[in-house]
Structure 1
Amino acid sequence: MTDQHASGSAPDGAAGSAAGAHRDAEPTGKWGLRPATLEDVEAIAHAELELFPDESWTVFQLAEEVAHPDRRYVLAADGVDAQGRLLGYAGIMIAGDLADLHTIGTLREGLGIGRALLTWCEQQARAAGATSMLLEVREDNARARRFYTAAGYCEIDRRRGYYRIRGRGIDALVMQRTLAA
């Protein structure tokens, strides 16, 4: 599975807001994070379709990711026990001293969910022995680029035509951050 989603949507809804059922009610203001499970895959897949309609992962791909021993997936959900409605999710791959942010998406803006998801991923990477984190961000996603830059990520490379959206190639900017111990 590729790491195409690292910023297909910027944290806290930068690439757009959620639609449909997620708009029916505002979050209670109390939300939390918890590790994602296979039982969460269907809800994550629905969010994928809303946030990344041109490049969403399937239920099967997401299940494989969540179950993989070298991956860590988290979700944000309503309620202090994070058992309510899905508000966001993120996932990383860990490979030795390097972690790769595979996906991050939020369904609500302005609550700090994106930052909390990224922080969780960085903490998990550190705990597994990673000393740096990589991600790809769409060149045309200025808000996501600002978010990652503010979080300490620096552009280190460019992947030409990495994203294929409606037959058009969009470059991915590769960003990296050292994870302090």
Structure 2
Amino acid sequence: MTSPLDGAVEAVGPTGWSLRPAIVDDAMALAFLELELFPDEAWTVFQLAEEIEHPDRRYVIAEESGTGEILGYAGIMIAGDTADLHTIGTARPGEGIGRALLGWCEERAREGGAGALLLEVREDNDRARAVYTRAGYAEIGRRRGYYRIRGRRIDALVMRREL
């Protein structure tokens, strides 16, 4: 297994950002971004650090070139022939960051031996659903009331793509 720092810059976006594997030192910055992007469901710094260090997880950071500001992140769990997208978030929607993060996760899943990637998305998250659909994901199930946000229950749509 290679170090998360091997090949630190893995992709460069068209508007001055790049992708790199996450390291545990990123956990605090990710926790703040989690609070900004997902205030009702944010993971803690401890959960994020544990995820980044876990041997069956792969996490990626999108950062501003030059400043190092974190613009997005994503993470997967590799479990045999199927991987699960655990999280994905971007601070700048519409710049292609989310799609690049998803592509990075798909490639890591393939490298880890997965033939498919599963994900869950809130039924009311139209932007994310559109990104996943354009990327070739299809809805294969529904988890009723999976998300509990401010007293509301929102269904999770389960989506899958063969890699």
Taking structure 1 as the reference length, what is the TM-score of the superposition?
0.80
Bigger relative contact order, structure 1 or 2 (CA pairs below 8 A, ≥6 apart): 1
Task: Identify which of 61, 75, 78 aligns with 1:94.
Answer: 78
Secondary structure of 1:102's aligned partner: strand
Q: Distance in 1 between matches of 2:156 and 2:77?
A: 18
Q: Distance in 1 between matches of 2:102 and 2:17?
A: 16
2:62 corresponds to: 76
Task: Could you tell me which runs of 5 or more consecutive residues in structure 1 were left unpaired when the two chains were aligned.
Answer: 1-27
Q: Distance in 1 between matches of 2:160 and 2:144?
A: 17
The answer on 1:151 being equivalent to 2:135 is: yes
2:3 corresponds to: none
Q: Distance in 2 between matches of 1:124 and 1:48?
A: 22
1:122 corresponds to: 106
The count of corresponding residues between Structure 1 and Structure 2 is 150
Per-residue deviation at 1:146?
1.1
Per-residue deviation at 1:141?
1.0
Q: Report sequence identity in percent.
A: 71
Q: One-letter code of the match for 1:55? A: E
1:175 corresponds to: 159
Q: One-letter code of the match for 1:29? A: T
Per-residue deviation at 1:99?
0.3
Secondary structure of 1:114's aligned partner: helix
More strand per residue = 2
Task: Could you tell me which runs of 5 or more consecutive residues in structure 2 were left unpaired when the two chains were aligned.
Answer: 1-13
Runs (4+) off by over 2 Å:
none
What RMSD over aligned residues (CA atoms) do the two structures have, in Å? 1.3
Q: Distance in 2 between matches of 1:166 and 1:109?
A: 24
Q: One-letter code of the match for 2:83? A: A
Secondary structure of 1:55's aligned partner: coil
Secondary structure of 2:158's aligned partner: strand
Q: Distance in 2 between matches of 1:110 and 1:48?
A: 18
Per-residue deviation at 1:137?
0.5
| Superimposed CA distance per residue, residues 115-136 of structure 1 (whole angstroms, 9 cap, x where no aligned partner) | 1100000000000000000000
